[in-house]
Amino acid sequence: MQTYFYQLAEDITARMQGNERFTCTFSAEESDFVRMNQSAVRQAGSVTQRSLSIDLIAGKRHTSESTSLSGDLTMDRARIDAMLVRSREKLPCLSEDPHHLYATDVHSSEQHGKNSLAKSSDTVPAILEAGRDRDMVGLYASGGMYSGFANSFGQRNWFSSFNHNLEWSFYSQADKAVKSRYAGFEWDPAAFQGKVDWANEQLDVLSHPSHTIKPGRYRVYISPYALYDVVGMLSWGCFGMKSHRTKQTPLLRMLEGGAKLHPSVTMLENTRDGIAPNFQDAGFIKPDQVALIEKGELRDTLVSPRSAKEYGIPTNGASSDEAPESVEIGGGEIESDQVLRQLDTGIYINNVWYLNYSDRNACRMTGMTRFATFWVENGVIKAPLSVMRFDETLYRMLGENLIGLTAERDLIMDSTTYQARSTESGRLPGILVGEFSFTL
């Protein structure tokens, strides 16, 4: 993959005319996909795909073209020629872009992930065995993901990662199900079995009559997977320089009003330990880490090249939407086997459903519980909880009402596959929160 991309980059360089410059990005994957339903394989296949995007630059004008690649040099060179023809036709018709910024200093790099993946022919039987005599539905993806960058100044960057991602649910009846995930870089049978055993314990409880509570405030435990959805909401403009300068960030109270989260909360964009490349599509290198929130206080922002140009500040290699791609929250002191005892009496939230802002300026979110949310009494799971809507601010959830975070954190990989497997991920703890507001 790498050699092939670099050859194409040299071909593009040789095709530049006059004052033309270019940047180009390469994305590829070699993945196995297995879809399961009723504890049986319903669809299985392997995908090998490559794509290339070229941004052709002439002065302050630029335009982009993208294409899929076949892997045949003759055919792909013809596609590149066609892309450049279309770009040259468009360029004179375009306005100058005053905020366009791309790397001109050469910073080449290579990062090759270690391939420790088990064969799908070994892991899939283990997954099916876990679902034996149960109604299991899920999706398993495994394989290599590759990213590359090149420009006309001679910069070359390469990144590869090899990982697996499994999402599955054990269904009890109707809307009663236990949803679980297992992601990583190496298949660990013991770790997987631990997740299966915990899911089975919850599945047994789902057969009990549902418990209904009145609207009010309750002590809750929010699992790493539910917290990942909350953090996903924060990706919508919370940490980008553009949203801060235009005062559109949901963290405006932290930015201007002095609001803080709990001192135990530290949130990073941790590119070093994620599965996203350590460079972006304009050629800027990402730092290993960016501290977004440190000990409860708002710290650094994600600065895309466009924001850097507009506001006259350095970029830190953020993507165009200035959203975290490898988010991490530090762990706390609550051991995983002590979560129920620490919760005592309250609500155990495994997953959330329909999460959205109810008051964006106040960073207030509303959502509904779903998939194995339980009522807990005296540290013992008693019954599944009837679906409830909650409405709560980040400042209460991770601030004044935060009781603690689990020491153990889960690696969560985004399972979306729009055009290709996602390179977004998170490493998050579970959190224990008091006075969590349920509205109906």
Could you tell me what percent of the chain has a pLDDT over 70?
100
pLDDT of residue 53: 99
Distance CA 397, CA 72 (A): 53
Buried b / exposed e over 300-313, threshold 16 CB at 10 Å, is bbbbbbbbbbeeee
Residues in the chain: 440
- Nearest CA to 343 out of 366, 385, 375, 384 is that of 375
CB 406 within 8 A of CB 430: yes
pLDDT of residue 18: 96
Domain 2-206, CATH among 3.40.50.1820, 3.30.2290.10, 3.60.130.10, 3.40.50.11540: 3.30.2290.10
pLDDT of residue 370: 83
Q: Is the predicted pLDDT of residue 224 greater than 90, yes or no?
A: yes
Q: What residue spans in the chain does CATH classification 3.30.2290.10 cover?
A: 2-206
Q: Is the predicted pLDDT of residue 185 greater than 90, yes or no?
A: yes
Mean pLDDT over 30-59 rounds to 97
Distance CA 241, CA 233 (A): 17
CB 183 within 8 A of CB 169: no
pLDDT in tens, 101-133: 999 999 999 999 999 999 999 999 999 999 999
pLDDT in tens, 314-348: 999 999 999 999 999 999 999 999 999 999 999 99
Mean pLDDT over 85-91 rounds to 98
* DSSP annotation string for 277-344: -SB-TTSPBPPSEEEEEETTEE---B--HHHHHHHT-------TT---SEEEE---SB-GGGHHHHH-
